[in-house]
Structure 1
């Protein structure tokens, strides 16, 4: 009955979340359903396991949610995201329209700008560029996904994405874990994705397809839909409803002012991770009042938080005159972090209840027994949970909460570096999360005025297939040569 309860609880969560129900309600309800099947005490599961795990997730990662959302909103309202995207696409020109859109999305997201902020700016720009170049508009979602939701989210070392931050306290790693393998994976994703998009473009030109005539609604209209908002908030770290709040500047931004905050994110993250934190004395962290922890458990979150905080100060300083309603912008950014953080925390609480059930031992044994070794089984576990929840961050945290310590023990026994576990887990979480029910995919298609039938196949090719190829390459190279 216990295993049946796990399946029923997970099935209810997926089905009702897909229909737009709030995860804040669904996650505890479905967790209690699973516990009831196994004959476990319901109130104790809710208050002691579910809430304890959800609160632990918030305690660890809410600073990144908060600072990331504030930074993204500041970059949007100051006009910096528009300036960066416009600069890249102008420099590359009409003949390299697809490459320009992909790189514009990659640059702003690798620099710490939230996904939905990037959508809001890049999609209208891409529509204009694709129309002028007579490239089918059905390829816009795939180009945007390739730039914003693939290699900059999971592969490139130092990316400030929440997905790259989640394994750090579990494995004692930094945002720059396995940099060589991450770069190899990123190059594979970018190269294969661009090859597919250019192949599709050439096929469309031979067929005289042209841009098309579907009419997209204004981006804000899509984000006003509560159904989309609920699904989007479990997918990424920004509540899209807050995009319409604040005050967006219409003044042009000098390229230096727009690029500098992005550079600061990467530079400060690198300095904190590899230079500053390793050299300071933090032995006090072992004291009970600091939680009896260690630098390895907090260094990653400290690095990313410091980088985002420094970037926030930079964007305000560089664009003071273009932020006339600074308090409103800051409030909107802060508010944008709350629903996604609570939604993902609720998914984590659900996973904690499932992992605490006696029947979960069967699931754990099956995962650990997958052929190919611990790297393959870790990749499968993160893939499946991200796919089922429609959330890379939620699926990754559930997997590591349940199995992270076990994988660390196995890694110690077999001489596997924790950095390799980190990179495999992050790339694994960013593959099958881009299924049709993923909130980012649904939102992007709504903004573009397109349907799954028109655009989803190309999204699969650039978002899922490229990531799986990169993941296989990382596992193969990492197994042969270790982490580097």
Structure 2
């Protein structure tokens, strides 16, 4: 019993102390060893646990996913510095106009994140445009974070098939799938989240207008709009995004299926486990090169942009790797068998069990990718076996996992939520209710609907 209490206490401390601003790089190993001590007392092999379990799994995760974090960050930085991200957002906003300010912001964020641009870059690129649109439409500024969150944290991050975001890449090695897994379920989930969020935000805007609330006075706002004089054309800016999506599809669905990959046995793997990652790596590299070549005159220093993007990826990958190391230490503890049996005992349906475990762990860690990695690392094999026994397509396991990671992850302690509010110059009190509705409540309701559809064999 003490072992289970130790695991739960370590999870609570991880959530609380991360919210208080302590980096997970420090918290994860300390709290993993704390849980180990609570399980084994003086018989704990703390240093062996740290180097042989925590660090080994830290390194394993980094080996598998570092290229995606690295290339995604570099691509986002190049799209930002070249003006391509702003060009896409500005064109969409201009075409839709101030009367559809909320829709313009959501679609701008959605197009960029679906193309592989990181949500942090998207927030910086779209915020100046959002302030201009919302001010002209006299919509409260407090609704901007919810609009950006809807476009960045939800349907394009977890639902739409083909999205190159890391959340859609993590399940690939576990289930032998690619980025376009379970397309019907993904599209249905994406539409439900997008439409549901826009309906909510529109309702909130109308309610504010009825109450006489306008954009508001924000003397500290330092947004000066967008200088469009040197932006690339919309069509040139959108090509890299099309490259990522189309090339990723072609490679994943057709190219690798026709080659002899028997040599991979020498590397201890098989094509099904790596083709999704390989396709995404190649697609991002081509898109990066294209963006640099076609924006040479706009990129003041391409080398600096690439370097900054690469360096910026390090914190993201090490944070997530630390959470994975933590999860694997917890998994190794004898008391975890009790928790595992409790999770698997929630339902004999592996989709339901997977949805709950991924969502809860994403909420505890405050990280969609971290929570999903921990859950699949600990229970992924069991879910595959349960799915095979019930004749469930592995693609469905993939899509349910991605949808589930995008629910409780956006609780107030989530790093992306805190960063977004900082960019917008607003507080949790002012804007979190709308962020929470768009990125927690509606996605969880969507997940339930998708689970029902999946139970009828929809893929």
- TM-score normalised by structure 2 residue count: 0.96
Q: CA contact under 8 A between 2:93 and 2:129: conserved in structure 1?
A: no
* 2:241 corresponding residue in structure 1: 262
Shift of 1:217: 5.1
Question: How many residue pairs were aligned?
Answer: 452
Post-superposition Cα deviations, 1:168-204, rounded to whole Å, max 9, x if no partner, equal 0011111000001100000000111111111111111
Which one of 435, 440, 444 corresponds to residue 411 of structure 2?
435
Q: Return the offset for 1:213.
A: 1.3
2:117 is the alignment partner of 1:113 = yes
Query: Partners in 2 of 1:275 and 1:374 — Cα distance?
Result: 29
Task: Answer yes or no: is 1:467 the counterpart of 2:446.
Answer: no
Give the conservation status (yes or no) of the 8 Å contact 1:3–1:359: yes
Is residue 57 of structure 1 aligned with residue 58 of structure 2?
no
* SS across alignment from 2:161: coil
- Cα distance, 1:469 vs. partner? 1.9
Q: Does 1:347 align with 2:308?
A: no
Q: CA deviation at 1:458?
A: 1.1
Q: Which residue in 1 is equivalent to 2:455?
A: 479
Tell me how far apart the structure 2 counterparts of residues 12 and 3 of structure 1 sit (CA, whole Å): 14
Indicate the SS of the match to 2:215.
coil
Aligned match of 2:255? 276
2:369 maps to 1:393: yes
The alignment's C-alpha RMSD in Å is: 1.4
Distance 2:219 2:257 in 1: 53
- Write the distance in 2 (CA, Å) between the matches of 1:41 and 1:77: 49
How many Å separate the matches in 1 of 2:111 and 2:16? 35
Residues 64 and 476 (structure 1), Cα distance of their counterparts in 2 relative to 1, 3 Å cut? same
In the alignment, the residues of structure 1 paired with residue 19 and residue 6 of structure 2 have an alpha-carbon distance, to the nearest angstrom, of: 20
Q: Work out whether 1:31 is the aligned partner of 2:7.
A: no
- Correspondences of 1:361-440 after superposition (within 5 Å): 361-371=337-347, 373-440=349-416
Q: Please state whether the residue corresponding to 1:440 is helix, strand or coil.
A: helix
Question: Whole-Å Cα distance in 1 between the matches of residues 458 and 142 of structure 2?
Answer: 40
Where does 1:246-325 land on structure 2 (aligned, <5 Å)?
251-287=230-266, 290=267, 292-325=268-301
Name the residue aligned to 1:156. Answer: 160
Are 2:209 and 1:205 aligned? yes
- Please state how far the C-alpha of 1:15 moved relative to its aligned partner: 2.1
- Paired with 1:24 and 1:94, the residues of 2 have a C-alpha distance of 43
**What aligned pairs does 1:40-119 form with structure 2 within 5 A after superposition?**
40-119=44-123
Shift of 1:12: 2.3
**How many angstroms does 1:482 deviate by?**
3.9
Q: Counterpart of 1:170?
A: 174
Q: 2:154, 2:439 within 8 Å by CA — same for their partners in 1?
A: yes
Q: Secondary structure at the match of 1:481?
A: coil
CA distance in structure 2 between the partners assigned to 1:444 and 1:312 by the alignment:
25
* CA distance in structure 2 between the aligned counterparts of 1:412 and 1:166, rounded to whole angstroms: 20
**How far is the alpha carbon of 1:87 from its aligned partner?**
0.5
Aligned to 2:8: 7
8 Å contact 1:64–1:162 — kept in the other structure?
yes
Task: Give the unaligned 5+ runs of structure 2.
Answer: none
Give the structure 2 partner of residue 145 of structure 1: 149
Q: Aligned to 2:409, what secondary structure does the other structure show?
A: coil
Q: What corresponds to 1:336 in structure 2?
A: 312
Tell me the distance in 2 between the aligned counterparts of 1:218 and 1:443: 16
Shift of 1:371: 3.6
Return the alpha-carbon distance in structure 1 between the equivalents of residues 390 and 302 of structure 2. 52
Q: Is the 8 A contact 1:70 1:334 kept in 2?
A: yes
Deviations 1:74-110 (CA, angstroms, capped at 9, x unpaired): 0000011000000001111111111111000000010
Aligned twin of 1:124: 128
The offset of 1:250, in angstroms, is 7.0
Cα separation, 2, equivalents of 1:8 and 1:197: 37
More divergent stretch after superposition (185-194 vs 365-374): 365-374
